[in-house]
Amino acid sequence: MIELLLWFAWSVVLIDIATILALIFFENREPQSVLAWLLLVLIFPVGGFVIYLLFGFKYFKTREFRLKTTRDQAVLDRVRKGQEVGVPDETEMTLGTLAADTDLARMLWANSAAFLSAGNQVDVFTSGAAKFDALFEAIDGAKKHIHLEYYILRNDALGERLVQALERKAREGVEVRLLYDDLGNNIPRLRYRHLTALGARVSGFYRALVPSIGLRVNYRNHRKIAVIDGTVGFVGGFNIGNEYLGLGPLGAWRDTAVRIRGAAVRSLQLRFVLDWNYATGEGLGLGPAYFWPSTPVGTASIQVVSGGPDTTNNPPREQYVKMVNSAKRTFYLQTPYFIPDPSVLTALRLAALSGVDVRIMIPTRGDHPFVHWASLSYVGELLSAGVRGFSYDAGFLHAKTATVDDFATSIGSANWDLRSFKWNFETNAVIYDAKLSEAYRRIFEDDMTRCTEITMESYAHRSRLTQFRESISRLFSAAI
């Protein structure tokens, strides 16, 4: 018995050593992330190692996405050179139409080939009912093709409504492609068989090694994109499920998405095609079948910014930092998860100290307690710099938005947390339109009427238990 215990103890030590060696010698991590993982492994030798394999090990990232990186970059390089006629680069021409500072747009173009397109019409949705009515209306009116890319598809009434709508269009001869994240989707694969029998194409992204056992919890496709006939696009925070209609355990649901008509739809289409080709190997081209010529239908200029573990420097994170640094008067952000890295935290602090009206809104009730307590700690840290914090009381806040100076507004899938900055594939629409930005600022201010402000006084008087929860959650948040 003693020998068995000794063998077990030595095995644990060897596992710990192997983990530490992997952390230090084989992975290029930030120092705070290394320290957090080391602490977790030392405190919980066996459990910490298992958690590290599930959430922290990065070797498979390099191997899995090297090919995607190479292929995507080759396509983007051809577009930059004007060799893909279906996706013309309008960046330089459109820059001249922007009324305010163009530094943000130039950076996003140089950093991630986020083409700047003018003449777009944008409609904002802040309720699930309105967003899904618009989405199903577009699907029902499709004549050529339907391309959908979603992180979560629930096996519930809304998920079933979507599958049935796609089946109807497939019967009509419309091309249907549905790309879901293999971990986020819980509609049984058997349910898709009838849809595929009708000619639709359905695929999972980064599939689990064993079906129904999702051990690959990192590198998820967190995007929410829909493109109908190449003329209408949707992007934002809504997945497909009853909870996004306010019918889940969290109750009322506050989110944001946009419907885009105009040239920027081609950028959403490009993102879908790149992800679809990686997941399926189908080899969809960038020709006129999916990329139609566009005429101006509105006043908004748009860049679609995408990033993930297949990019060296995550573009959505750098987009957020640049937006904060560009602010002269106001910067309002909404996010369900606020775990910024040092660059984002510093940018927000310096903006507030420079006199910018910085406001951060997070949910009062989080869906992940660990992340919620860590978020509170980061908001609390910024209060002394003059940042105003708000907790949304009227349900769960899931919107991922940022508005700067009534000039630019970002609406998409990327949260202000390390998971969106490092591990997940994300897409935002950066919209340059003074009227829309002013309108969204007013939406934010209306949301404030349903918030409790987190003041320095209230934060200082939080309970000892809350302080303990924040400290523990923040300590290990750097590891994820």
> Could you tell me how far CA 21 lies from the centroid of its own chain?
31
The full DSSP string for 106-131 is HHHHHHH---EEEEEEEEEE-SHHHH
The question of whether 222 is a catalytic residue gets the answer yes
> Is there a contact between 402 and 335 (Cβ–Cβ < 8 Å)?
no
Active-site position among 68, 147, 372, 400: 400
Q: What is the DSSP letter of 212?
A: T
Nearest to 304 by CA among 336, 266, 259, 341: 266
Cα–Cα distances in angstroms (integers) from residue 396 to residues 87, 188, 336, in the given order: 38, 27, 8
**What angle do helix axes 31-43 and 464-477 make, rounded to 10 degrees?**
110
Active-site position among 68, 131, 147, 222: 222
346 vs 360: CA distance, rounded Å: 14
The question of whether 405 is a catalytic residue gets the answer yes
CA angle centred on 262, ends 256 and 266, rounded to 5°? 90
> Is there a contact between 407 and 437 (Cβ–Cβ < 8 Å)?
yes
> Is there a contact between 158 and 472 (Cβ–Cβ < 8 Å)?
no
The tokens describing 265, both together, are: 């739809």
Active-site position among 405, 406, 433, 447: 405
302 vs 410: CA distance, rounded Å: 10
Active-site position among 131, 147, 372, 398: 398
Active-site position among 68, 131, 147, 224: 224
The question of whether 400 is a catalytic residue gets the answer yes
The question of whether 145 is a catalytic residue gets the answer no
112 vs 319: CA distance, rounded Å: 10
The question of whether 224 is a catalytic residue gets the answer yes
The question of whether 229 is a catalytic residue gets the answer yes
Number of H helices, E strands in the chain: 17, 17
52 vs 48: CA distance, rounded Å: 6
> Is there a contact between 156 and 249 (Cβ–Cβ < 8 Å)?
no
The tokens describing 117, both together, are: 């397109």
Active-site position among 181, 182, 229, 341: 229
> Is there a contact between 352 and 346 (Cβ–Cβ < 8 Å)?
no
Helices within 52-187 (DSSP H only):
59-80, 91-95, 103-112, 128-140, 157-171
- By annotation, the residues acting in catalysis are 222, 224, 229, 398, 400, 405
